[in-house]
Amino acid sequence: MRVLFWGTPDFAVPPLRALLGEGMDVCGVVTQPDKPTGRHRTLTPPPVKQVALDEGLPVYQPARAKDDDWFETLQSIHPDLSIVVAYGHILPKRVIDLPTHGTLNIHASLLPALRGAAPIQAAIREGRTETGVSIMRMVPALDAGPVLLTSTTPIADDETYGELQLRLSELGALAVIEAMALLEMGAATETPQNELLATYAPKVDRDTVRIDWTQPARAVSNAIRAYDPKPGAFSTLHGSDVKLFGPSPAPGVGLPGEVLATTPSLVIACGDGALALRDVQPAGKRRMPSEEWHRGRGIQVGDRLA
């Protein structure tokens, strides 16, 4: 079966490696165009592109998946199956339907819960104790196709987005191999999603990651872990942003956002309870232990984050 793989973020790398490791006939990798990154705006390829090049696979980077010239290229590739992993755009119906066996999508939630762009972050922020991956048949609507297979995993109390993303990408790699085996044997069962149970995880933006200190400590902790390591949940001190990481419960009472202690770790009051923060990243600086920031006179007891 000739497989065309679509993916962009780090999440897509383990599934691609799994397909290659199983000897699947990957006929090409579709990813988004290289993007400028860093202070010098250097053009940087998506991680899956480098994996594909290392394996000698054709790489396609269409500006838009709906363009006619790209569709003509797709027809010439003639895949039997497309597998999409966090590609970042909804594909048009003619692209989804072109492969003989259609298009499968690896989604990082237990559908129909948490459809959309940021299901891993949302699962942590909402305080869920369990999540997983769903292998679904792709349709033009957002993450709404029938599900072939799900695989669940618990979420640890202190797990960060980065840690959970890595585990789910590896779980998705195993699940998609199993789903493909079921398809080839004619044993796959496609279960329609219950639209009444659908929830959504919208794209993360600046407003999403700003910390609301009036929330209970547990909710603030969830929000901080949901965006660690990137983009990083942030607050403002003396007009400058600071990202915060590594929360844990701490004793203390104060106004929301008030600094209650700076050693051995930074302790901030919440609407109910307080949190100790292990690491910080002030604007324009590297991530560092919070006590180091205090020693550099970056923050003092009595300051208030907003």
Q: Which two tokens stand for residue 223?
A: 């929000």
Residue 89 has pLDDT above 90, yes or no: no
Q: How far apart are CA 279 and CA 287, in angstroms?
A: 7
User: Is residue 196 scored above 80 in pLDDT?
Assistant: yes
What percent of the chain clears pLDDT 70, i.e. is strictly above it? Answer: 100
What local confidence, expressed as pLDDT, does residue 88 receive?
85
Is pLDDT above 80 for 6?
A: yes
What does the pLDDT read at residue 72? 97
| Helix spans in the chain (H) | 13-21, 47-54, 68-77, 93-97, 119-125, 161-185, 206-209, 217-226, 290-295
| Residue 240 scores a pLDDT above 90 | yes
pLDDT band with cut points at 50, 70 and 90 for residue 38 = confident
The answer to whether the CB of 179 falls within 8 A of the CB of 148 is yes
pLDDT per residue as tens digits for the range 131-157: 999 999 999 999 999 999 999 999 999
Q: Domain locations in the chain?
A: 2-197, 206-295
What pLDDT digit, counting tens, does each position of 13-28 carry? 999 999 999 999 999 9
- What pLDDT, on a 0 to 100 scale, did the predictor assign at position 66? 93
Question: What architecture does CATH give domain 206-295?
Answer: Roll (3.10)
Q: CB 108: neighbour CB atoms within 10 A?
A: 27
pLDDT for res 267: 98
**What pLDDT was estimated at residue 40?**
79
Residue of 83, 167, 183 whose CA lies nearest to 133: 167
Determine the pLDDT at residue 64.
93
- Supply the pLDDT for residue 39: 75
pLDDT of residue 41: 85
Phi, psi (deg, nearest 5) at residue 242: -140, 130
User: Is the pLDDT reported for residue 218 higher than 90?
Assistant: yes
The CATH homologous superfamily of the domain defined by 2-197: Formyl transferase, N-terminal domain (3.40.50.170)
Q: Inform me whether the pLDDT recorded for 246 exceeds 90.
A: yes
Position 172 scores a pLDDT of 98
Tell me the pLDDT of the chain averaged across its residues. 96
**290 has pLDDT over 80:** yes
Q: How far apart are CA 272 and CA 217, in angstroms?
A: 6
